[in-house]
Amino acid sequence: MDKKPCNSSQDPEVRKGPWTMEEDLILINYIANHGEGVWNSLAKAAGLKRTGKSCRLRWLNYLRPDVRRGNITPEEQLLIMELHSKWGNRWSKIAKHLPGRTDNEIKNFWRTRIQKHIKQVDNPNQQNFQQKMSLEINDHHHHHPHQPSSSQVSNLVEPMETYSPTSYQGTLEPFPTQFPTINNDHHQNSNCCANDNNNNNYWSMEDIWSMQLLNGD
DNA sequence: AAACTCTTCAACCGCGATATA
DNA sequence: CTATATCGCGGTTGAAGAGTT
């Protein structure tokens, strides 16, 4: 914990990089007792060698008790696509319509899962993509019962303002909706902690919260 | 089995907006 | 009114796991 990952030039007192569990606990504990806000002074008062900005981000995107992570549902996916078609990259605005989801998560989701497909459509040599697409579409027809039909999807995403229709139309169906079976937990590393409900190999937020209760002063 | 590539996502950065001194 | 601090957003990066050769 005392090594300083990539500490750039200046302040050797300021930690960067992944949060450790100790830091998480300190932050959770502090906020539980004093509330959030004024992040720079919070960071100091809590004894964290982090910027206020870093604390804020960690809290909002990860530690907050009401934050939902991973397993974006098909419904959420549709909402994201619909809202993104209206508003573009206004991630925080979009996030406000998905309770518990953070702008960061939605942004990541968009970039890694959706934009990828848009790019493929825009690609001039579409042959590969179309082949792939038909494969994926076929595949889709027999999984996930609660998955919306393609017509539903098209209707929902109908009003396209910021994107060329081709982008979405190409994107909608091939999009792999079998969501992270993965539960996201690949990759929760040493630093942590929170994870999805159905996996017990890591700290869950409930664990953390109960720890901080025990710990609480 | 190891080297290499791809994918994901937590966390960083810069910057404009807003608040406070 | 101006200067400085802080917040919040969106873009980007890089570590590390997963997949492929």
Any atom of strand C under 7 A from CB of A39?
yes
3-class state of residue A69 by DSSP: coil
pLDDT of A19 reads 92
C-alpha distances in Å from residue A51, one per residue of A15, A59, A67, A181: 8, 12, 21, 35
Comparing every residue's Cα with the C1' atom of nucleotide C13, the nearest one is A17
pLDDT band at residue A27 under the 50/70/90 scheme = very high
Any atom of strand C under 7 A from CB of A93?
yes
User: Among residues of chain A, what percentage have pLDDT more than 70?
Assistant: 48
Which domains does chain A carry?
A: 21-67+189-215 (1.10.10.60), 74-172 (1.10.10.60)
Query: Is there a contact between A162 and A197 (Cβ–Cβ < 8 Å)?
Result: no
pLDDT of A26 reads 92
pLDDT in tens, A60-111: 999 988 888 888 888 888 899 889 888 888 999 999 999 889 999 999 998 8
pLDDT in tens, A30-39: 998 888 878 9
